[in-house]
Structure 1
Amino acid sequence: MADTAQAQELVYLVTGGCGFLGEHVVRMLLQREPRLHELRVFDLHLGPWLEELQTGTQNVIDACVQTGTQFLVYTSSMEVVGPNIKGHPFYRGNEDTPYEAVHKHPYPRSKALAEQLVLEANGRKVRGGRPLVTCALRPTGIYGEGHQIMRDIYYQGQRLGGRLFRAIPASVEHGRVYVGNVAWMHVLVARELQQRGALMGGQAYFCYDRSPYKSYEDFNMEILGPCGLRLVGTRPLLPYWLLMFLAVLNALLQWLLRPLLLYAPLLNPYTLAMANTTFTVSTDKAQRHFGYEPLFSWEDSRTRTIGWVRAMDGSAP
């Protein structure tokens, strides 16, 4: 997301503005940015491959330089850090916590390289001679209205008679963050970057709120439980080796079917490693640098998401 200020009025370009987070950022700008003069939304459905995303990010940076756009906020991901495929836990870490990032899947590799491009571009001269000011936001696992994976899990549970079967140990914790708070952080960063560029420029920030730390499945049940689903089992129903076998089989099928159709299973070796590795964040860097506080409480975030799930099949609120 890039912005430029002219006579106290702001023009925003939101790239990926038709996606899950992008739509929430657009709504947040319309609701919370009183100096908004013009909002431009751009979305191009690129493939997931590394070269395409890296080239696209470089094109955005070059466009900022050529047009004199001074501020660039990049939506990164916690996955530029981890969890790594070795299963090393990241427990209550922050932006400075040492952690071995091991990227073999195209998505985290591409996000990590794109983030590096954006942060290294900080200070580059744009048209008119001013310095480009950049920063990156790293959401943990985003949830909320419109979340496709939660939608898929909900429908899967319905097909299984209102049941979901535990696959991940309850002791594995994950950080989650409500999409409205991620959108709010984007708006706040873009606003404060103009005044605090010397402090914020070239920095990366985790996106966080007060959502509870739980396993991925137990957290989902905070939302899906009130919608009629129940989680079966206190321990994983299937052993890890069997889940890995199924994950590898899914990956093989995806590769074989790629020329004919898009097969995107929820379970693959990368998602299995992610789900089985603790990754939780405890940081106040965003609060210290630009005054971030979550706009939505955990209770409000949960209520909004439950309402969205219930509305998907016309269930009573």
Structure 2
Amino acid sequence: MQVAGMVDKKDFQILVTGGSGFLGSGIVRALLERHPEWRISALDLKQPNAEVLHRLDRFFETDISSADSVHAAFVGYHPDLVVHTAGIVPARQYRYSTKEKDWEHVRSINYGGTRHITDATMSSGCRRLVYTSSCTVAFDDLEHDYYNTDETVPLGFASLHYGQSKTMAEGYVLDPQHAEEGLIACALRPCMIFGPGDTAVLPLMHDLIAKKETNFIVGDGDNIYDFMYIDNAVDAHVLAIENLLSSGTAAGHAFFISNQEPVYFWDFLAAIWAQFGHVPSVRVHIPMPIAWAAGYAFEWYTWLTGAAATMDTGSVKDGVRTAYSNNEKAKRILGYEPKIGLAEGVRLACDVRNKT
């Protein structure tokens, strides 16, 4: 597929939503460094740091959950391509919430916000969109294991708010009707991303040291998981951007991306703790019946007291299942290969955290 009028153009105007966030800011910095001739803009609720801000073509302070706010950002602005990374990742006890108000909040940002960005993109005349989806479109189905999962896996079984909202959003971006209207879009499904500055992975694992909760393994400990270093996730997005601005062979596709190094979940935790000088003196396997009983007990305690639960049945399910993906499609179409291995990524991420 040849993208008409794009191949010979040099001064592309690129907009990164969520451009001040963990992933979005990495994409902004990578584009500024790798394509200095391009005009890079960012859209977010908060400004990026001063060093990045002065290098941007434009910055839009925008609430993506508001259609009016998004519309205002695109008035008189006509990017060549939009990278939509903005969203919310429910963390800690909110990951397993079943409350309607929590669902409406997540849905309004991840699905509603994606609709607003997609619609504004097309209304502006832009027809190229790279969407940051998530592996949770499949993996937030906590009732099943997912081994070497590729893009043929059926969706619609996610039971958690995040996976449900990302499934809906991905479906909207890749809706065939939008393609008929000229939208050239693809979706990337990264696994759990960690690295310097992340707020969703390392902090939670590090907190277990202070909580004295590193001596336990739920189940047999043989479950395998995917993790991904931030620089590799950024690289995959840059490759997708370059593809849609040239050959366009990624159009209409979703891609699982990871470090391509699935590891035992509980061993990954131990590797993180070791970087902080913590090695559990003993690790006790908690049989599943006991773990289930504890999860239910904590859920009742949370319901009665309103306190935040350390453990519930959702976290028990999450901690014993296998979920990792196959990246062959991303390798074949995007040319994606992770450049920083998992062990090196852990060292780099923890070195930075140890210095803060």
Q: Give the alignment's TM-score, normalised by structure 2.
A: 0.73
What are the Cα deviations for residues 125-174 of structure 1, in whole angstroms up to 9, with x where unaligned?
A: 3xxxxx211111001122211232321321330353x9443235321000
Q: 2:342 aligns with which of 277, 288, 298?
A: 298
Aligned pair count reads 294
Contact 1:84 1:100 (8 Å CA) reproduced: no
The alpha-carbon distance between structure 1 residues 195 and 84, as it changes in their structure 2 partners (threshold 3 A), is: same
Contact 1:144 1:179 (8 Å CA) reproduced: yes
Segments of structure 2 that go 5 or more residues without pairing to the other structure are 46-62, 64-86, 89-101
C-alpha distance in structure 2 between counterparts of 1:208 and 1:99, whole Å:
19
Given the alignment of the two structures, is residue 240 of structure 1 paired with residue 279 of structure 2, yes or no? no
Deviation for aligned residue 1:110 = 0.7
Q: 1:123 aligns with which of 152, 155, 179?
A: 179
C-alpha distance in structure 1 between counterparts of 2:187 and 2:221, whole Å:
31
For 2:273, the equivalent position in structure 1 comes to 224
For 1:91, the equivalent position in structure 2 comes to 147
C-alpha distance in structure 2 between counterparts of 1:274 and 1:95, whole Å:
21
Contact 1:170 1:235 (8 Å CA) reproduced: no
Given the alignment of the two structures, is residue 183 of structure 1 paired with residue 183 of structure 2, yes or no? no
For 1:50, the equivalent position in structure 2 comes to 107
Segments of structure 1 that go 5 or more residues without pairing to the other structure are 126-130, 313-317
Contact 1:139 1:177 (8 Å CA) reproduced: yes
For 1:128, the equivalent position in structure 2 comes to none
Deviation for aligned residue 1:256 = 7.0
Given the alignment of the two structures, is residue 146 of structure 1 paired with residue 197 of structure 2, yes or no? yes
* Worse overlay, 13-22 or 43-52: 43-52
SS of equivalent to 2:12: strand
Contact 1:174 1:214 (8 Å CA) reproduced: yes
SS of equivalent to 1:200: coil
Q: Give the alignment's TM-score, normalised by structure 1.
A: 0.81
The alpha-carbon distance between structure 1 residues 163 and 52, as it changes in their structure 2 partners (threshold 3 A), is: closer
For 2:209, the equivalent position in structure 1 comes to 157
SS of equivalent to 1:154: helix
For 1:111, the equivalent position in structure 2 comes to 166
Deviation for aligned residue 1:60 = 0.8
Contact 1:151 1:309 (8 Å CA) reproduced: no
C-alpha distance in structure 2 between counterparts of 1:257 and 1:14, whole Å:
42
Contact 1:13 1:40 (8 Å CA) reproduced: yes
C-alpha distance in structure 2 between counterparts of 1:26 and 1:257, whole Å:
43
For 2:91, the equivalent position in structure 1 comes to none
Tell me which amino acid in the other structure corresponds to 1:289.
I
Deviation for aligned residue 1:286 = 1.1
C-alpha distance in structure 1 between counterparts of 2:317 and 2:193, whole Å:
18
1:1-317 map, 5 Å: 7-43=9-45, 44=63, 48-86=105-143, 88-96=144-152, 98=153, 101-120=156-175, 122-125=178-181, 131-148=182-199, 149-160=201-212, 163-197=214-248, 199-210=249-260, 212-231=261-280, 233=282, 235-236=284-285, 238-248=286-296, 265=309, 267-312=311-356
